[in-house]
Amino acid sequence: MTAPTPTGPTRRGFLALAAAAGVTAVAAGCGSEQSGSEGADGGAVTVTHAFGETTVAAPPTRVVSAGFTEADDLLAVGIVPIATTDWWGEQPYGVWPWARSALGPAQPELLSLADGIQVERIAALRPDLIVAINAGVDAETYRRLSEIAPTIPQAGRAAFFEPWREQASTIGAVAFQGPRMTELIKTVDEGFSAAGTAHPSFTGTKALLLGGSTDWENSVRVSTEGWRTEFLTRLGFHIPKVDGTPAGDGRVLVPLDRIDGALDGADVLIWTTESDEERDRLLAVPQIAALAATKAGRNVFTDRELAGAIAYSSVLSLPVVADRLPPLLAAALG
Q: Give dist(CA 53, CA 320) in Å, integer.
A: 34
pLDDT band, residue 30 (cuts 50/70/90): very low
Contacts 24+ apart (CB under 8 A), 222-226: 222/251, 222/252, 222/253, 222/254, 222/262, 222/263, 223/16, 223/250, 223/251, 224/250, 224/251, 224/252, 226/19, 226/250
CA angle 103/105/106 to nearest 5° reads 65
155-210 residue pLDDT tens: 987 788 889 999 999 999 999 999 999 999 999 999 999 999 999 999 999 999 99
Q: Give dist(CA 123, CA 109) in Å, integer.
A: 12
pLDDT above 70: residue 10: no
pLDDT above 60: residue 28: no
CATH of domain 195-333: 3.40.50.1980
Q: Give dist(CA 302, CA 270) in Å, integer.
A: 8
What's the predicted TM-score (pTM) here? 0.87
Q: Give dist(CA 254, CA 219) in Å, integer.
A: 5
Q: What backbone phi and psi angles, to 5 degrees, belong to 144?
A: -65, -40
Question: Which of 203, 200, 213, 131 has the alpha carbon at shortest distance from 171?
Answer: 131
pLDDT band, residue 138 (cuts 50/70/90): very high
| 8-state DSSP, 206 | B
Q: What is the pLDDT of residue 249?
A: 72
Kindly give, in sequence order, each residue whose CB lies less than 8 Å from that of residue 190, ignoring residues fewer than 6 positions away: none
Spatial contact of 63 and 210, defined as CB atoms under 8 Å apart: no
Q: Which amino acid is at 133?
A: I
Spatial contact of 123 and 148, defined as CB atoms under 8 Å apart: yes
Neighbours of 6 (CB within 10 A): 20
| Numbered ranges of CATH 3.40.50.1980 in the chain | 8-176, 195-333
Share of the chain above pLDDT 90, in %: 81
Q: CA neighbours within 13 Å on the CB side: how many for 38?
A: 14
Give the burial string for 122-146 (b: 16+ CB within 10 Å, else e): bbebebbbbbbbbbbbbeebbebbe
Share of the chain above pLDDT 70, in %: 87
Kindly give, in sequence order, each residue whose CB lies less than 8 Å from that of residue 123, ignoring residues fewer than 6 positions away: 148
Helices and strands of the chain, counted as H and E runs = 13, 14
Q: Give dist(CA 7, CA 5) in Å, integer.
A: 6
CATH of domain 8-176: 3.40.50.1980
Q: Give dist(CA 206, CA 58) in Å, integer.
A: 47
Question: If you count them, how many residues does the chain have?
Answer: 334
Mean pLDDT of 232-259: 92
Q: Give dist(CA 239, CA 204) in Å, integer.
A: 9
pLDDT band, residue 122 (cuts 50/70/90): very high
Mean pLDDT of 252-272: 95
Provide the β-strand partners of residue 27. 45
Spatial contact of 250 and 19, defined as CB atoms under 8 Å apart: yes
